[in-house]
Chain A
């Protein structure tokens, strides 16, 4: 068994979380509060250093433009004063504008154009045919502004639904392994590093 205090601390934390599997309990609640506190603490510390290094230091060295994001950042806090609260919309508006635009770029490039490009396949083998049919039908599954279809369009919708179900089942089954890896890791820690019952 380990004689290291740190390992014991980690083992206790591990067991505290596992205890939740049985039911909610005070030890788990304690772990929860500590966890939230420390991670948010870390967030603030990281943010502090990021602001300092990325903005304040260059500003002091003469890159005057950095004053803009710093002012915007400070304005986020205007919301705590009733008569200033409106100004806090400016930094939010900035974050929203940049975020929305980055989102469009990413989605169009990687998720749209590239995915369509990858769907264009020579229809000379069964797998390619299935991928093209499957993609097209599962895209059309998402029509919103057409009435429930009848005839051929309805069967396209049905194929689409089946495609999605198989895809979801496959993805689910494929994930089980990754999730099991996680407890293998934690049990490994308990048995190897803490108890020393395996090598």
Chain B
């Protein structure tokens, strides 16, 4: 029962309450749904510990078996434990906590993200090869919009920003809308199966 019936019922009931609360003007349902959504925040928060536990286990094992990268794993473990202890004892606004945040996490995150500037350049270089008509459409649209976005494009041709804006506003809007609508249909379809318990991939097939 705990394998199948109860989990499927929980999914069904919570899902259906939310869907009806969304569609109908029934105050009780609205309250229930708001409550469920708040619970969701709390249950999700509990999941954080699962992630932490997984990291701890994998890296503890590596240190224990002296696998190649074990030194890094040791550093990871120490940093994780220290940071959690620090955070819980001094709070998110603790001085040292903020210091690590600002001077280590912020630059690490910002710089890793900024590598994207290089990736987008190299991907454009290797992939925008005009071999078919469709590939040409892709590459030409990309180059025109790039030119329209920067001053250099305006020097080449004063109407470049207008061209770029038109490509974004008309063909791009239409194409992306197709993707968005299709995506919505797919999401409705899979969620329909999930709420009704027809789709059980997320329980690994319920171990049946």
Contacts and interface: CB of A to CB of B under 8 A. Distances in A.
Touch test A–B (CB under 8 Å): yes
Interface of A: 6-7, 9-11, 13-14, 16-18, 20-21, 29-51, 54-55, 65-66, 68-70, 72-74, 76-77, 80, 86-87, 89-105, 107-108, 111-112, 115-116, 118-119, 127, 130-135, 137-139, 141-142, 160-177, 179-180, 182-183, 185-186, 189
A47 B45 contact: yes
B195 A100 contact: yes
A167 B14 contact: no
A31 B151 CA distance: 37
Contact of A37 (B38, B43, B79, B121): B79
A73 B72 contact: no
Interface string B105-146: 111111111111111110010000000011101111111111
B92, B138, B175 pick with most chain A CB within 10 angstroms: B175
23 contacts: A9-B104, A14-B111, A18-B115, A29-B69, A33-B73, A33-B75, A41-B79, A43-B52, A45-B87, A50-B41, A69-B40, A86-B2, A89-B6, A97-B12, A98-B36, A115-B184, A138-B178, A162-B133, A167-B175, A170-B172, A175-B120, A179-B120, A186-B114
A13 B82 CA distance: 19
Nearest to A78: B2
Contacts of A171: 172, 176
Contacts of A34: 75-76, 79, 104, 108
A176 B124 contact: yes
Given A95-B44, A101-B195, A90 B2 contact: yes
B42 A89 contact: no
Interface in B2-52: 2-3, 6-8, 10-19, 22, 35-52
A183 to B, nearest CB: 4
B157 interface: no
A65 B118 contact: no
Given A101-B15, A104-B187, 14 more contacts: A10-B107, A38-B79, A38-B104, A49-B91, A94-B14, A96-B194, A98-B37, A101-B195, A105-B22, A107-B188, A131-B173, A134-B170, A168-B138, A171-B176
A97 B10 contact: yes
B185 interface: yes
Task: In the A-B complex, list the 6 residue pairs whose CB atoms are closest, starting with the nearest.
Answer: A134-B174, A138-B178, A167-B175, A73-B46, A169-B141, A45-B87
